[in-house]
């Protein structure tokens, strides 16, 4: 079953730069997909359009049957609640503890306190940070901060987890740790899309891989087909 369908999407920025050219692709429920490509290939723009940070200039993007491109700014939150997003720079609240950072995503929806507590502890356990709940982001390593960001992204139980260069700032060993967490999340049924330029990781995980170049799909590899190549 297709969870995300992109039909003939193009994106031209106001500066005149076209980041995506007539791109069509779909992602199935429960898939783990890597989007790779050189800097400026359009991979970040593509996922920004998925969580409606950007709108396509033309074409359609369906997530669970909803055309994301048509959602107004005011209603963006409706689609955001179905997705979890993780960034290279973690985007954590520096003055809130690990627990508060994760709980924050549930509190705004009025989830009862007990339920928040259970859910937050559960995801912190999943990402391996249960014992650091009371610490502040600046007391954690980069890898740990990214785990907090992942915990926050999945605490709502989203169907899709989008990761924009989640290991961009991390060393190889830490990066693998993050990937293991993402794999574990994927095994629980969440569709995971990871944008990266770290081909080492892509090579090791043997997942479906989409290679972008100048806003177009250059190549696609089914699960297990990808072999390390320079990008």
Partner 1 sequence: MKLFRILSRNIRDSFKSVFRNFSLSLASISCITITLVVVAIAIALSYNVNGFTRKVEKDVTMVVFLNEDISEERFKEIGDEIRKIDNVGKKESDVVGKTKMQVRDEMMKSSETYASILDKYDTRDTNFLKDTYHIKVEDITKMSKTAKTIKKEIKEVDTVKYGEGMIEKLVTIFDFVRKATYVVVIALILVTAFLISNTIKITIFSRKREIDIMRLVGASNINIKIPFIFEGLFLGIMGSIIPIILATYGYSALYNYFDGELFGNFVTLVKPNPFIFNIAGILLLIGMVVGMFGSWRAVRKHLKI
Per CB under 8 A, contacts with partner 1 among 5-64 are 51, 53
Pick the binder of partner 1 from 14, 73, 114, 173 (CB under 8 A): 73
Q: CB nearer to partner 1: give 65 or 112.
A: 112
- Within positions 172 to 231, which residues make up the interface with partner 1, using CB under 8 A? none
Give whichever of 49 and 105 is closer to partner 1, judged by the CB atom. 105
The closest alpha carbon to 35, from 12, 55, 6, belongs to 6
d(CA 78, CA 71): 9
Q: Which residues contact 122 (CB under 8 A, 6 or more apart)?
A: none
| Residue 76 binds to partner 1 (criterion: CB under 8 A) | yes
Task: Give the side-chain half-sphere CA count within 13 A for 227.
Answer: 0
Partners of 10 in beta bridges: 58
Q: What is the DSSP string of 63-128?
A: ETTEEGGG--GGGHHHHHTTEEEEETT----TTS-HHHHHHHHHHTTT--HHHHHHHHHHHHHHTT
- Contact region for partner 1 (CB under 8 A) — 24-32, 70-78, 123-131, 221-229? 70-78
What are the structure tokens assigned to 68, written together? 């994301």
Spatial CB neighbours of 26, under 8 Å, sequence gap ≥ 6: 2, 4, 5, 6
x/- mask, partner 1, residues 87-126, rule CB under 8 A, reads: ----xxx-x--------xx-xxxx-xx-------------
- SS3 at position 152: helix
From the CB of 73, what's the least distance to partner 1, in Å? 6
Q: Is 85 in the site for partner 1 (CB under 8 A)?
A: yes
Shortest Å distance, C-beta 76 to partner 1: 7
Sign of the dihedral through C-alpha 45, 177, 31, 148: negative
Name residue, tokens 């890898």: 143
Number of residues that bind partner 1 (CB under 8 A): 25
Per CB under 8 A, the list member of 10, 57, 97, 156 interacting with partner 1 is 156
Among 11, 43, 132, 152, binds partner 1 (CB under 8 A): 152
Nearer to partner 1, 13 or 228 (CB): 13
Sign, CA dihedral 194-198-202-205, equals: negative
Least distance from partner 1 to the Cβ atom of residue 77, Å: 4
**Between residues 53 and 213, which has the closer beta carbon with respect to partner 1?**
53
| Residues near partner 1, by CB under 8 A | 51, 53, 73-74, 76-78, 80-81, 85, 91-93, 95, 104-105, 107-110, 112-113, 152-153, 156
């Amino acid at each position: 079953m297709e969870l995300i369908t992109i039909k003939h999407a193009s994106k031209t920025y106001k500066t005149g730069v076209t980041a995506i050219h007539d791109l069509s692709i779909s992602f199935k429920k429960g898939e783990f997909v890597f989007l790779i490509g050189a800097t400026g290939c359009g991979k970040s723009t593509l996922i920004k359009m998925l969580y409606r940070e950007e709108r396509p200039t033309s074409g359609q993007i369906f997530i669970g049957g909803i055309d994301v491109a048509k959602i107004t700014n005011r209603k963006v939150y409706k689609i955001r609640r179905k997705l979890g997003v993780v960034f290279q720079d973690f985007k954590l609240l520096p003055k809130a503890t690990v627990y508060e950072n994760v709980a924050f995503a549930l509190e705004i929806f009025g989830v009862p306190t007990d339920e928040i507590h259970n859910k937050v502890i559960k995801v912190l356990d999943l990402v391996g940070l249960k014992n650091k709940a009371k610490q502040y982001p600046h007391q954690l390593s980069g890898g740990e901060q990214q785990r907090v960001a992942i915990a926050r992204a999945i605490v709502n139980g989203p169907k899709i987890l989008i990761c924009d260069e989640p290991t961009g700032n991390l060393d190889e060993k830490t990066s693998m740790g993050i990937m293991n967490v993402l794999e574990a999340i994927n095994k629980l049924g969440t569709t995971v899309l990871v944008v990266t330029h770290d081909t080492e990781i892509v090579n090791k995980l043997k997942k479906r891989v989409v290679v972008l170049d100048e806003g177009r799909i250059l190549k696609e590899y089914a699960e297990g087909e990808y072999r390390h190549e320079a990008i």
